[in-house]
Amino acid sequence: MSEIANNLNFIRNRIRDAALKCGRDPSSVKLIAVSKQVPPELIREAFKAGQTIFGENYAQDLRDKAKALSDIPIDWHFIGHLQKNKAKYVAPVCSCVETIDSREIAEAISQQFERRLASSSSKAETSKRLNCLIEVNVAGEMSKSGAAPESVLNIAKHVATLSNLSLRGLMAIPPYYDEPEKSRPYFRRLSEILNTLNRELNLSEPLTEISMGMSGDFEVAIEEGATYVRVGTAIFGDRV
Ligand SMILES: *Cc1c(COP(=O)(O)O)cnc(C)c1O
């Protein structure tokens, strides 16, 4: 078995164990293989080993890799900081934009997705709406992107007015610690923000997705309610 396939198995087992340990259904946690700086050949290898969701955080890299791998049905998630002028690279190829952090970005993505719908001749284009998550700056770090917790409700209400987008939940990149337990308060905070948002929005179908946890701390994130974990290094090895 290849090293990537081995790593994937190991991570899947750890995800299952972490879910069972806290009484969750393991299938409620989905693995995003973060493939930034990973060449298309290795992404293909991971796909052959059964991995279908991949995360990229540079818009042009996402565009290029989606093109190189257009023969296989990958679910691309965009997980990087998004600028308005890069929406055109992201919206045509991804299945979920995880980093909506302002009304303007939501509008730019929605407009570009409209063009994707208009240009798509194939009936196979099943989804009429692009899934998205709002990125929350849970620790209020000046240096980081993400919406302030107080503005999440406002952005969510705006996204709800955009007919091309489907809001599914929240995402966060908390401060990095060597010790996974230190991330727990931020993971818990994001879960609480989702609960509050659901109460305030009072939608017929509540938002369910929470994207949080990386190679070093995804088990703690699962204990705190993650439905997506984003794992790079533990699958593909150290980035150089
Ligand atoms: C790089 C990255 C990850 C994965 O980090 P690892 O520590 O390599 O698992 C997860 N989320 C985001 C937003 C990233 O940029």
Would the CB of 11 count as within 6 Å of ligand 1? no
pLDDT score, position 119: 82
Residue-wise DSSP of the chain: --HHHHHHHHHHHHHHHHHHHTT--GGG-EEEEE-TT--HHHHHHHHHTT--EEEE-SHHHHHHHHHHTTTS--EEEE-S---GGGHHHHTTT-SEEEEE-SHHHHHHHHHHHHHHHHH---TT---SSEEEEEEB-TT--TT--SB-GGGHHHHHHHHHT-TTEEEEEEE--PPP-SSGGGGHHHHHHHHHHHHHHHHHH--SS---EEE---TTTHHHHHHTT-SEEEE-HHHH----
Mean pLDDT of 125-135: 86
Ligand 1 centroid to Cα of residue 132, in Å, is 18
Q: Using CA atoms, how far apart are residues 174 and 185, in angstroms rounded to an integer?
A: 10
Q: Write down the residue that tokens 């993400």 correspond to.
A: 146
Residue-level pLDDT at 20? 98
Q: What is the pLDDT of residues 41-91, one digit of tens each?
A: 999 999 999 999 999 999 999 999 999 999 999 999 999 999 999 999 999
What is the CA(161)–ligand 1 centre distance, in A? 31
Per-residue confidence (pLDDT) for residue 121, from 0 to 100: 63
pLDDT of residue 139: 94
Q: Is a pLDDT exceeding 80 seen at residue 127?
A: no
Cα separation, 211 vs 44, in Å, equals: 23
* Global confidence as pTM: 0.96
> What's phi and psi for 210, nearest 5 deg?
-130, 115
pLDDT at 123 exceeding the cut of 60: no
Atom 12 (ligand 1): residue with closest C-alpha? 79
Tens-place pLDDT, residues 13-50: 999 999 999 999 999 999 999 999 999 999 999 999 99
Pocket test for ligand 1, best of 57, 58, 210 (most atoms within 8 A of CB): 57
What is the band of 124 on the pLDDT scale with cuts at 50, 70, 90? low
Indicate the residue type of 204: S
pLDDT of 120 reads 75
Looking at the CA of residue 215, tell me the nearest atom of ligand 1.
Answer: 9
Q: Which atom of ligand 1 is nearest to the CA of 234?
A: 9
What ligand 1 atom has the least distance to the C-alpha of 233? 8
Burial group, residue 118, by CB count within 10 angstroms (0-12, 13-18, 19+): exposed
Q: Is the Cβ atom of 230 under 6 angstroms away from ligand 1?
A: yes
How many CA atoms within 13 Å lie on the side-chain side of 109?
Answer: 35
Centre of ligand 1 from the C-alpha of residue 79, in Å: 9
Contacts of 96 (CB under 8 A, 6+ apart): 75, 76, 77, 78, 130, 131, 132, 133, 168
Q: How far is the CA of 211 from the centre of ligand 1 (A)?
A: 11
